[in-house]
Structure 1
Amino acid sequence: MTNSVKQAHQKELFGHPVGLYVLFFTEMWERFSYYGMRAILVLYLVAQTQGDNGGLGWTNGEALALYGWYTMLVYVASIPGGWIADKFLGQKKSVLYGGILLVAGHSILAVEEMWAFYTGLGLIIAGVGMLKPNISTMVGGLYKQGDIRRDKGFTIFYIGINVGAFLSSLIVGYVGEVHGWHYGFGLAGIGMALGLIQYLVGQKYLQHVGNFLGSSEDLAEKEAMKKPLTKIEKDRVVVLFISFLLVIVFWGAFEQAGGLMNLYAADKTNRLLMGWEVPASWFQSLNAMFIIFLGTLVAGYWASRKLKGKISTSLFKMILGLIIMGTGFFFMTAAAAEFNSNGPIENGVGGSAMYWLVLAYLFHTIGELCISPVALSYITKLAPLKYASLMMGVYFAMTGFGNKLAGLLGEASENLGEYTIFTGIAIFCVVFGLLVMLFRKKLETLTHGAEDNERDINDDLTEGFELADTDLKS
């Protein structure tokens, strides 16, 4: 776990700690490597073994099965990764070791041997598990307890994730498909190496966050690690686990973007624009583009509401995010209805219009900005000090289960059809969100004022890492 270094001076840039931008670029390059490799993994698996750019020649079913397990395990590995940080290393060293494992994993994938393929995947799973929950926890440690900038800081951090994802799909995808799959895997490794180098160079801006609590000179902090959880801490953990249900539902629906919605764009959307056919894969970049342009605007809107005394609690944002994302699926319902009316695309006529997809991705992105970076920040506010990284790991594991749920829903569309699936997802998300909203105030009382009195704290000082009150009474 980490030290709480009281009142240590901390340099700032654009109103946020400089350390935020160190973590921003580290995570950007990590996501560049992850999404770059993910973009070409299935294509490599199904590519014919013969030819200039031969793959493994697997069937679509075999490739998607491996892909599903891989994407789930990558996030489930965050649980042991968070536990190791809390018990042995601290977040700072865990991020470093995770980065080293990722560089090794991507580099080994560049070797054209089956042992290298499976070894590389294993190292990447372990590396993401070590890095992902701990770097997110460190972001929270850059802000004082009650600092209203924390949520916006996480949104800026989240933008870095999407910059990396956007660039990797263009660069790594192109290199892999055109010049060779293993060159693409190697390029992903180079990206992670760049992130690791700048993380090491920026250590001077991270002196007071991510350190192992066992090395703290503060006797009170060491004693806190030995004590059982207080009633207040237990209540806050309960709220976190309930919020994780929102996370599973959200990602189970949202991740249709890479599966069912991707196929719908390719097969049933009329993509002709002034005589030119828009590539189906381009729709995948809409989410990242919307996040880059809307991220700080959405975060600023919520901060403004908070300062005006209007409802802007994290749980409210997350519930609203689920409802907004669910509403986006009604546009896909309209698209499916239009396709059923117009019929298949023939000679540039038929199918459904592209704007349905654009509107759906817009609403999905706004919903994502209300739930994903906010959930990361929420964990750093409520998680008990000694289980901070573990709770962050559980969150990412929930996103992994959501990814698995998304695959199951996508498979169901073969029998039920897109109209039924899109409509069902929309109704369930909206209704589930409204039901949780009914219990929101009760749940928020269990946080015991964790978000009360949040304000703009911009005095060039930091408390190091402080998740929740450490002097709570049972």
Structure 2
Amino acid sequence: MSATTLKPHQRELWGHPVGLYILFFTEMWERFSYYGMRALLTLYLVEKTTADNPGLGWLDSESIMLYGWYTMLVYVMSIPGGMIADKFLGQKKAVLYGALILVAGHGILAFEPMWAFYTGLGLIVLGVGLLKPNISTMVGGLYKQGDIRRDKGFSIFYIGINLGSLLATFIVGYVGEKIGWHYGFGLAGIAMLFGLMVYMYGQKFLINVGNKPTEEDKKTDVSLGKLFGDLMKSPLNLVIVLLIIGYAFYAGFSYDGIDSWGYTALYIFIALVAGVMMMIYKNLETQVSRDRYLVLLLSFLIVIVFWGAFEQAGGLMSIYTKTKTDRTLFGWDIPATWFQGLNAGFIIIFATIVAGYWAKRKLKGKEASSLFKMAVGTMIMGLGFVFMIFAASEYNANGSSGMQWLVLAYLFHTIGELCSSPVALSFITKLAPVKYASLMMGVYFAATGLGNKVAGVIGESASEFGEYAIFSGITIFTVLFGLLVILLLKPLKRLTHGAEDNEREISSDETEGFELADSEAN
């Protein structure tokens, strides 16, 4: 079939569906707004109120604590966001409503009163929860099962994420640090408006993905009512959930700090998610789907470990860059926020190179499974903290550390991320039960959020143990964890039942039938 006779949603550009590039630019502007906010948040919180560009004057530990809770909630809300899409809206409308909420949230942050600050953060949490898991699910839906282009498509999509991040850290970071924090927050809102406009323009290229669930789809019941009904029928499941809830209340009464009851809410949430996960396992109809589901749950653990280390970038490493790094270059003081842009810049440079390396390795019959990539990525990222150990040692000796350690650390973090994160996104779309696709993507982002919270807890402890001990501990743990996954690789691959075998590139003509059938089904 010639390109001229293809419908808009069947057309390809540079070997991929045009819809991929619509989602690429939508996500690019959404990530511009999010990472612009992320680049400024901890620095705004710790900046003295007497400064030329005053912040809130919080302690380092207080700012990292809020950073951990905020970045966790942003991703944890992906679970209800995925459920709402699966049950009611479909991914396409969920992304639209999420974008609208994000525009409002970032816009409110442009105002200075504290009510605006907390309201804006709350709206961003809700908006990202609707948008993030569902736009990623739509990317996976553009490709037929077994299409080797899927991993490459997610890598291209990942470039969009990081192009937005790169632009945000340079533009929003500079505006926020040098002109005014709230001007930077407002600029992030304008970027999100651009993303919304791109998404609305590109709807004709997304006809076959993310549509409203059918009545058959809605029969998949993951409501809290059915959850508790199933738990009452399964004593083991009920005991597990009740034990977690019991510990949640213990945390509220016994933990020190103003966020003790925040942990109570978190543990109750984890208990409910655990109940949902057990319920889904029981409802799966075949042993193959159950085995794949177990591997999927393990991949979420890898995600938590990865992001628990990686997300020091926006918290502990951001403050370290601001306060303990010599950032002078040719007499000019480089803004601290710009160093967070190194990650995004390196991703843009290396994303297709890393994806191409793994694709060629797989075609040659060498080990290139998603779990292997994620384990290797975790170890490479962890080794990046070796350079932060050198930085901490230099600071302890001289009172400041050189910029080169940050550059090298971000380079290793980036290579590790490219081996792990886009692969994890693609892996979920391969293993997740179809009727729970958005929910599983939501759980993935919730795992990312829990990793962010772990990063916050680790960063807070630096005030007690010191950066040298924290960076050393992260390095040792991530390398050992990655090696453990590799040791367990063979039995884990058996449980996937060949989900990644026989992948190949699928043409437009082959894709047409599945797209039309999918469109009619929705």
State the TM-score bracket (shorter-chain normalisation). 0.7 to 0.9
Provide the C-alpha distance between the structure 1 equivalents of 2:155 and 2:56, rounded to a whole number of angstroms: 39
Give, in angstroms, the shift of residue 237 of structure 1.
Answer: 1.5
With 226-235 and 405-414 compared, the bigger mean Cα shift is at 226-235
Equivalent residues of 2:318, 2:340 under 8 A apart = yes
Which of 268, 288, 308 does residue 232 from structure 1 map onto? 288
Aligned to 1:323: 379
Aligned to 1:348: none
Aligned to 1:87: 87
Aligned to 1:145: 145
Whether 2:335 is the aligned partner of 1:286: answer no
Scaled by the length of structure 2, the TM-score of the pair is: 0.80
What do residues 28-54 of structure 1 show as CA deviations (whole Å, max 9, x unaligned)? 111111111223334444556678755
Report sequence identity in percent: 68
Provide the C-alpha distance between the structure 1 equivalents of 2:448 and 2:468, rounded to a whole number of angstroms: 25
Give, in angstroms, the shift of residue 128 of structure 1.
Answer: 0.4
Cα gap change, 1:54 to 1:287, in 2 (>3 Å): closer
Aligned to 1:170: 170
Scaled by the length of structure 1, the TM-score of the pair is: 0.87
Provide the C-alpha distance between the structure 1 equivalents of 2:76 and 2:447, rounded to a whole number of angstroms: 8
Equivalent residues of 2:385, 2:474 under 8 A apart = yes
- Aligned positions of 1:61-76 closer than 5 A: 61-76=61-76
Provide the C-alpha distance between the structure 1 equivalents of 2:444 and 2:334, rounded to a whole number of angstroms: 36
Give, in angstroms, the shift of residue 273 of structure 1.
Answer: 5.0
Equivalent residues of 2:375, 2:485 under 8 A apart = yes
Aligned to 1:390: 439
- Aligned positions of 1:59-458 closer than 5 A: 59-214=59-214, 228-230=283-285, 231-271=287-327, 278-340=334-396, 343-345=397-399, 351-458=400-507
Query: Which runs of no fewer than 5 residues in structure 1 stay unpaired?
Result: 1-6, 346-350
Give, in angstroms, the shift of residue 9 of structure 1.
Answer: 6.4
Aligned to 1:4: none
Equivalent residues of 2:321, 2:336 under 8 A apart = yes
Provide the C-alpha distance between the structure 1 equivalents of 2:110 and 2:293, rounded to a whole number of angstroms: 42
Query: Which runs of no fewer than 5 residues in structure 2 stay unpaired?
Result: 1-6, 223-279
With 89-98 and 206-215 compared, the bigger mean Cα shift is at 206-215
Give, in angstroms, the shift of residue 246 of structure 1.
Answer: 1.0
Equivalent residues of 1:71, 1:400 under 8 A apart = yes
What do residues 244-272 of structure 1 show as CA deviations (whole Å, max 9, x unaligned)? 11111111111122333334444554555
Provide the C-alpha distance between the structure 1 equivalents of 2:17 and 2:349, rounded to a whole number of angstroms: 22
Aligned to 2:249: none
Provide the C-alpha distance between the structure 2 equivalents of 1:124 and 1:99, rounded to a whole number of angstroms: 9
Paired residue secondary structure (2:298):
helix
Aligned to 2:33: 33
Cα gap change, 1:309 to 1:287, in 2 (>3 Å): same
Give, in angstroms, the shift of residue 366 of structure 1.
Answer: 0.6
Letter in 2 for 1:421: I
Letter in 2 for 1:137: T
With 167-176 and 203-212 compared, the bigger mean Cα shift is at 167-176
Cα gap change, 1:222 to 1:421, in 2 (>3 Å): closer
Cα gap change, 1:16 to 1:249, in 2 (>3 Å): same
Paired residue secondary structure (1:360):
helix
Equivalent residues of 2:9, 2:17 under 8 A apart = no
Report the number of matched residues: 451
Aligned to 2:255: none
Cα gap change, 1:59 to 1:416, in 2 (>3 Å): closer
Letter in 1 for 2:306: F
Cα gap change, 1:192 to 1:229, in 2 (>3 Å): same
Provide the C-alpha distance between the structure 2 equivalents of 1:243 and 1:390, rounded to a whole number of angstroms: 15
Letter in 1 for 2:465: L
Paired residue secondary structure (2:340):
helix
Give, in angstroms, the shift of residue 86 of structure 1.
Answer: 0.9
Equivalent residues of 2:170, 2:338 under 8 A apart = no
Paired residue secondary structure (1:213):
coil
Paired residue secondary structure (2:398):
coil
Equivalent residues of 1:141, 1:466 under 8 A apart = no
Equivalent residues of 2:431, 2:499 under 8 A apart = yes
Give, in angstroms, the shift of residue 333 of structure 1.
Answer: 2.8
Provide the C-alpha distance between the structure 2 equivalents of 1:8 and 1:204, rounded to a whole number of angstroms: 6
Judging by fraction of residues, say which structure has more helix.
2
Equivalent residues of 2:361, 2:368 under 8 A apart = yes
Provide the C-alpha distance between the structure 2 equivalents of 1:267 and 1:53, rounded to a whole number of angstroms: 16
Paired residue secondary structure (1:249):
helix
With 355-364 and 382-391 compared, the bigger mean Cα shift is at 355-364
Provide the C-alpha distance between the structure 2 equivalents of 1:465 and 1:150, rounded to a whole number of angstroms: 19
Provide the C-alpha distance between the structure 2 equivalents of 1:112 and 1:254, rounded to a whole number of angstroms: 31
